[in-house]
Amino acid sequence: METKNNIILNNVQIEQKIKRIAYQIYESNSNEKEIVIAGITLNGFLFAKKLATALSKISSIEVLLCEVSINKKKPINSVTTSLTSNEYKNKALVLVDDVLNSGTTLIYGVNHFLQVPLKRFKTAVLVNRNHKKYPVKADFKGISLSTSIKEHVVVEFKDNETIAYLS
């Protein structure tokens, strides 16, 4: 593990961001009975699980958790989901990832879900970097950072602690 001297968000701050994003998701979907929280494999899905838990604590909306698998090396035509398209068709959906870097992963995830009619479609990230090469934005974000291209944002999800730092 890298040095933790460059911590962007500590565990307490991340928990606060998760709670705030959950409230924002609830506000924009308050008349929904059900919402799909779709997390991109690994960290995006771990973040989605935390958002789903927080959302369940503050609302009566039923949360369907969906894992989105994307081959980050060859993202085109390689997106699969743990739910069938019929399970999220005509529902409100939030696509979740931990860090928005270039936007490549998110844009392919967005493209996948655009193949099916949705009631509402939003995106959420914990850390939004300002180096996008695709016109994709995060509707809900924990923090926005202006970093150099050489800097890398790492989010570590552990059982009892989550931190985000620059490496």
Domain extents in the chain: 7-26+34-166
- Strand 120-129 versus strand 92-100 pairing type: parallel
Range with top average pLDDT, 77-81, 143-147, 160-164: 160-164
Q: What is the pLDDT of residues 38-74, one digit of tens each?
A: 999 999 999 999 999 999 999 999 999 999 999 877 7
Structure tokens given for 75: 């993202």
Three-state DSSP at 56 gives helix
Spatial distance between the Cα atoms of 45 and 97, rounded to a whole number of angstroms:
7
Helix (H, G, I), strand (E, B) or coil at 107: helix
Instruction: Report how far residue 129's alpha carbon sits from residue 137's, in angstroms, rounded to the nearest whole number.
Output: 10
pLDDT, one tens digit per residue, over 95-137 is: 999 999 888 889 899 999 999 999 999 999 999 987 777 788 8
Instruction: Report how far residue 83's alpha carbon sits from residue 67's, in angstroms, rounded to the nearest whole number.
Output: 8
The amino acid occupying position 121 is F
| CATH code that applies to domain 7-26+34-166 | 3.40.50.2020
Q: Answer yes or no: are the C-beta atoms of 141 and 100 closer than 8 Å.
A: yes
Cβ proximity of 128 and 143 under 8 Å: yes
Average pLDDT, the chain: 91
Q: What is the pLDDT of residues 9-33, one digit of tens each?
A: 999 999 999 999 999 999 999 999 9
Binning pLDDT at 50, 70 and 90, where does residue 148 land?
confident
Laid out side by side, the sheet with 140-145 consists of 80-81, 62-69, 34-40, 92-100, 120-129, 140-145
pTM, to two decimals: 0.92
